[in-house]
Amino acid sequence: MFQVFLYSSSLPFGGFSGYTVMPVLRIHGYALAVSFCLIIFIAASQRTDPSEVNALIEIKKSLIDTDNNLKNWNKGDPCAANWTGVWCFDKKLDDGNFHVREIYLMTMNLSGSLSPQLGQLSHLEILDFMWNNLTGTIPKEIGNIRSLKLLLLNGNKLSGSLPDELGQLSNLNRFQVDENQLSGPIPESFANMTNVKHLHLNNNSFSGELPSTLSKLSNLMHLLVDNNNLSGHLPPEYSMLDGLAILQLDNNNFSGSEIPSAYANLTRLVKLSLRNCSLQGAIPDFSSIPKLTYLDLSWNQITGPIPSNKVADSMTTFDLSNNRLSGSIPHFLYPHLQKLSLANNLLSGSISANIWLNMSFSANDKLTIDLQNNSFSDVLGNLNPPENVTLRLSGNPVCNNSNIQSIGQYCGPEADKAAQDSTNSTVCPVQSCPVDFFYEYAPSSPVPCFCAAPLRIGYRLKSPSFSYFAPYRTSFEDYITRSLDLDLYQLSIDSVAWEEGPRLRMYLKLFPSYNDSRSNMFNESEVRRIKGIYSSWHFPRTDFFGPCELLNFTLLGPYANLNIDSEKKNNSLGIKIAAGIAAAASALAISAIIIFLISRRNMKYQKIFRKRMSTNVSIKIDGMKTFTYKELAIATNKFNISTKVGQGGYGNVYKGILSDETFVAVKRAEKGSLQGQKEFLTEIELLSRLHHRNLVSLIGYCNEGEQMLVYEFMPNGTLRDWISGKSRKTKGSLNFSMRLRIAMGAAKGILYLHTEANPPIFHRDIKASNILLDSKFTAKVADFGLSRLVLDLDEEGTAPKYVSTVVKGTPVSLLKEIKE
């Protein structure tokens, strides 16, 4: 049996300082004593309610965490050790324990199922699993969490029915299960959610009738149940929902149902959308609703005339297309109107130019008037709408009237005339801002060419009350910045796109203040504050922009290593945590001595182990993002053949889309091309030094089982594609000015490689197919064809067997050795 010798020493462990130990102990006896100490120390540091600790452990067991985001969920105490996504109350409650208050696990690529043990978190206020890949059913035990205020499960693959027990959540403010695969009826018990303001059940497969008992939800503001399989009648009782601002029920099957005339009593209604619901009957008179802005009753079987009483002046969207309406067009005078669609009805009579004559258009305003496929026979007034107006008249008898001047241009296919959203085009010096994936110029900064690292946020308006964003862009920017306590110049809307719904998806960039001491990036507390506002919905209410949702809040570049879950709530809590950590450290120190003494007997095995582990080289490369195999597999649809854009001696190249919607080119090494890990990481370290606006940027790499490089994607392909005519049929041609700019850009990139790179590099393979073009036709030099979507033709015009992706640059420092 082992014997362990403890030589005379002083052990300064807490209250045992100065105590001298000099016996010879058998290992099992000493281990028993140490185990007893460990129990005491762990008990002293235990802070979270034991039942909640067990619940969290069970919750993790039911999840599949491929990205290892929850790796610290078995280390220490949940509240003391700041488990990822777990937030606790900053004080002990009456039972003498700390309790979990919030769980934020959105966009963590989690799969698996939701554990019934969630019901053990009896003090939980926020449960957020948005935008993962969870399957299975929603546990009925969640209904036991009476303290719950936000239940956010949208954007998963949950199935089954909604448990009746969820109706017990009387303190719930927001319930989101949209974009799942849920089915069955909407429970009658939901009428007991007396504090709920937002019910988002859209994009599932719910069936049955809408419960009339939901009319008891006196605080309800937004009811979104579109894109389901609901049937039956529209409950007239919903007219009792005094605070209802958005009612969106599109794409259901209320066959034979009429729109209840009592809905005219919804005096706070801003948006009513009942598109494609198989509705019949007449349109109620909604003129008594003062703030109605968006009315969509299209694709139904509604009959009768359009009500002559004018709806609110705030109207932006009036869509009654694809019904069976008859009669003439009432006198429309809406100063903010963006869309009037009456196409595909049985309307007749005259068209009045007054629809647009009394509107005063700004540069960003747009009005689409779609009157196609009716029986209009005449036009009253001057048929000469301004440039901001798109008028569509095809399929009407008036198009056959040769006496009406210019009628022909409105009777054929019409393109929208309104200007698109413009962006700031300030020209700044190329080298004054770090040219990589994470730093850029703040476009609206009062300081010219202010360079900083923005926070990138995916955001979506789920039910906006307008059809065209440009006129409201400024007010939206003001709304967002005021809500975040930022200046207007700190927000840049990077892209805006309409999605089915209609919903408006956008990507926001938030820039730090140029007045801060660390002005090129937000500090950790600011990042935590901003994310807290987004994830907790602490935005002021706005019914016009509608309910919003956070799609992603990915920390990239200089923010990648921030742990925004680690903030301690107050000083007293910090002291308690420090005490617990000190106790645990003492226990660990005692254990470490035992392990060290035992390990002396097994030294040769440790040497063998270290020798094996030394082959697994890891290098920290600044500015390079490390991707997991799972991330890149998802980005490329599991390296599907449809995403393949090139092939070479090194391996295949795939087009991918990252979680933040960034397009990338993924270069995947084949087995025969694998390098040693040290050589692979050394090559990446070399490439990471190359930063120039006229070079294709390396974003990151993967060294997890496979070797992959991730580059920015170049959507306009190669210069050779353009000058050889490949792109002319679909994209046009390059004029002389563009060719000159491309040539200058390529020259600057090559000059940088030859004279400014560290170390300098001779390209050795300069040709048109290695000059790539981004979305703005900026030339970027590459030594491989990453962004080509078709094979190159050789000099004889025939296709080669593969696309070359071999790196052919040579460090200048090696030229002497090569010559020798």
Q: Write out the catalytic residue numbers.
A: 765
Are 150 and 174 in contact, with CB atoms under 8 Å apart?
yes
CA distance 351 to 341: 13
The helix (run of H) or strand (run of E) holding residue 687 is helix 677-687
CB-based contacts of 624: which residues, under 8 Å, 6+ apart?
684, 688, 698, 699, 700, 701
Nearest to 753 by CA among 682, 808, 701: 808
Single-letter residue type at 26: R
Q: What is the largest CA-CA distance in the chain?
A: 116
Q: What does each C-alpha distance from 804 to 12, 472, 670, 719 come to in angstroms?
A: 64, 48, 14, 16
Pairing of strands 271-273, 246-248: parallel
Q: Residue 818, Cβ neighbours under 10 Å: how many?
A: 8
- Beta strands (DSSP E) in 172-244 are 174-176, 181-184, 198-200, 205-209, 222-224, 229-231
Question: Which residues participate in the annotated binding site?
Answer: 667
Chain-centre distance for alpha carbon 269: 29
First vs last C-alpha separation in the chain? 64
Question: Which residues participate in the annotated binding site for ATP?
Answer: 667
CA distance 226 to 178: 9
CB-based contacts of 483: which residues, under 8 Å, 6+ apart?
533, 538, 539, 540
Give the helix ranges, DSSP H, for 78-192.
none
Burial label, 576 (beta-carbon count in 10 A; 0-12, 13-18, 19+) = middle
On the CB side of 737, how many CA atoms lie within 13 Å of its CA?
0
CA distance 99 to 96: 10
